Amino acid sequence: MSIKSFLIGSPIETVKEKHERLSKTTGLAVFSSDALSSVAYGPEEILMALVVGGTAMLHLSLPIAIGIVILIAIVATSYFQTIHAYPSGGGAYIVAKENLGTYPGLVAGAALLIDYVLTVAVSISSGIAAITSAFPSARHFTVTMCLISIMFIMVINLRGVKESGKVFAAPVYLFVGGLLVLIVASFTKSLSFLRPPMPELKTTAASIVPLFIILKAFASGCSTLTGIEAVSNGVRAFKAPEASNAGKTLIWMAVILGVLTIGIAYYADYYRIIPNENETVLSQLARTIFSKGIIYYTIQFATAVILILAANTSFADFPRLSSIMATDRYLPRQLSNRGDKLVFSNGILILGAFSVLLIVLFSGDTHSLIPLYAVGVFTAFTLSQAGMVMHWLRERGAGWIKGILINGLGTVTTAVVLLVIAIEKFEHGAWIVLVAIPALVVLTKKIHGHYLAVAEQLSLESCLIGEPEYEHHSVIIPVSGIQQAVISAVRYGKVLSDDVVAAYVCIDPVETAKMKEKWDRQCMGIPLTILESPYRSITEPLIDYIEEVKEQYKNGIITVVLPEFVPSKWWHHLLHNQTALFLKGILLFKQGVVSTSVPFHLRK
């Protein structure tokens, strides 16, 4: 408990939940860090795709970036509608489920959950790439630095929403300010800068069709849009009026994201920045404008920090979405429980575990993870906008025609982009996400079916009226010797029933004879049954004996009383057999058998 208190602080009372909510300024840092940070790798991914076609195609980076900004405006406007139509939060999952049906809702939810895991992995690996660009010698420690970063963000989020907002606000605004300074300085320098000629680049394949390169560049650059839906999922985290504050935060985010994307793309092209594996495009642009001085290192530091902290958007939204799905009984119920700091702790821990697994599997390589990215989020975009179209058609409230036009445009646009991304990135890894989404949907349906079956069987309506009482109660006490824990168990067993038997498994005949003699001498008052075990198994003879007693008393109940001694220190458990624990696990699945422990607490 002392370690837990040190890491996440003191618990917060439930009545103080409203005081833990976020203002627009802090909310922008918490929910927009993912989207804003994507300008550090979005324009670079465009250039990485275009460079395959040689020098002539690099100038297309700006038109592609403009197309992506237009897409940002469409999606942001659509989600602004969603926020005000569904102020309770839940985003694409709730909208699709209520308007399109259960399966579309589950697809949207599964797509977002998978995308949140990928967001953490991509953001963290991109942040570490910014550090290794400035300090190449640190490249050997990429995976280690990624894992430390995930652990740090996970702990901060476990400390509560308000505290995470305080920690992440400064780096987010430092990053935005740093990039605005970079764009202004790039403009100033361009007034007196003699633009160098574009270096000659050879295409990697003579048969490459330019249209395919453009589509691939657009698909890669669409990773810039990931995180836009985060605000709509976390509306309830804002101070009142929640929908109004969340909507304004979304607008701020979209405007900042659009300005930074256009600015970086334009000046990367203007200063002839060529992407390479050893240094990010943003690092090259900053070095071109400021050389390797204090401003350069400040921008690199801010980029690294926000890319790492961009994972916080997922840590803010994954637990909220999973809690909503858990409340609907499509995910384990533990995900709907709030922890000591009024956050969904189990969701945070699960997200951290899956993110660590991805980082290890892909060695923290951003370019290996990017192809998996954006498929999930554009699936959610499309279903969410289609759901809003159905919402307006059904409600037909004020402004419903405008709503249909906005969300209809969003549906068509994001569906086309989803198709392009799925095709262009399929063989590079997108197929993994396209398989994982339906697999997760099937799993959620299985979980839902289990909960429905449990509810039906536990319902009082299915209780059998007039079911006969138990006619006999047998008590069996497994023993391995005679000591104080066994004596306590025998005393307890005698209280439960008149039919009490101790069971001893014979592995060594000599020791068994000694045990029988000692048992008779101690006058325990209950018979000792010797169970033969020619293969030295402890559990099998006991289970067979329990089955024999069950056959003898068809309408009876059996209680297995397990004597246990409890060490005073947790690590002492490692020094002893856990036979009782193992037996309890087996007996749990035996109908008509109850297991109970009689603990004997050791002092040292």
pLDDT at 467: 66
Per-residue pLDDT of 183-234, as tens digits, reads 999 888 888 766 666 666 555 544 455 777 887 788 778 878 877 877 887 7
pLDDT at 206: 44
Percent of the chain topping pLDDT 70: 88
Task: Say if residue 142 is in the same domain as residue 100.
Answer: yes
Does position 110 have pLDDT exceeding 90, yes or no? Answer: yes
421, 451, 481 - which closes a domain:
451
Per-residue pLDDT of 138-157, as tens digits, reads 888 888 888 998 888 888 88
Domain boundaries, position 495:
472-601
How far is 494 from 475, CA to CA, in rounded Å?
8
| Stretch among 83-92, 235-244, 391-400, 414-423 having the lowest mean pLDDT | 83-92
pLDDT at 259: 92
Task: Say if residue 476 is in the same domain as residue 442.
Answer: no
Task: Say if residue 275 is in the same domain as residue 128.
Answer: yes
Residue 52 counted as domain residue: yes
Residue 2 counted as domain residue: no
pLDDT at 122: 80
Helix axes 311-327, 102-134, angle to 10 degrees: 160
Does position 336 have pLDDT exceeding 70, yes or no? Answer: yes
Three-class HEC string of 267-331: HHHHCCCCCECCECHHHHHHHHHHCCCHHHHHHHHHHHHHHHHCHHHHHHHHHHHHHHHHHCCCC
What does the mean pLDDT of the chain come to? 83
Return all residues near 56 (Cβ < 8 A) that are at least 6 apart.
Answer: none
Return all residues near 24 (Cβ < 8 A) that are at least 6 apart.
Answer: 238, 245, 248, 249, 252
Per-residue pLDDT of 258-290, as tens digits, reads 999 999 988 888 888 887 777 778 888 888 888
How sure is the predictor about 542, in pLDDT bands with cuts at 50, 70 and 90?
very high
Task: Say if residue 219 is in the same domain as residue 260.
Answer: yes
Residue 11 counted as domain residue: no
Task: Say if residue 392 is in the same domain as residue 477.
Answer: no
How sure is the predictor about 562, in pLDDT bands with cuts at 50, 70 and 90?
very high
CATH of the domain at 208: 1.20.1740.10
Which 3 state secondary structure label does DSSP give 596? strand
Omega before residue 527 within 30° of 0, cis = no
pLDDT at 207: 46
Residue 464 counted as domain residue: no
Tell me what the mean pLDDT of segment 532-536 comes to: 83
Task: Say if residue 491 is in the same domain as residue 443.
Answer: no
Does position 370 have pLDDT exceeding 80, yes or no? Answer: no
Return all residues near 353 (Cβ < 8 A) that are at least 6 apart.
Answer: none
pLDDT at 479: 92
CATH of the domain at 544: 3.40.50.620
Residue appearing with tokens 């980029």: 303
Residue 8 counted as domain residue: no
pLDDT at 367: 64
Q: How many domains does the chain have?
A: 2
Task: Say if residue 445 is in the same domain as residue 482.
Answer: no
pLDDT at 548: 92
Amino acid identity of residue 5, one-letter, is S
| Stretch among 134-143, 479-488, 496-505 having the lowest mean pLDDT | 134-143
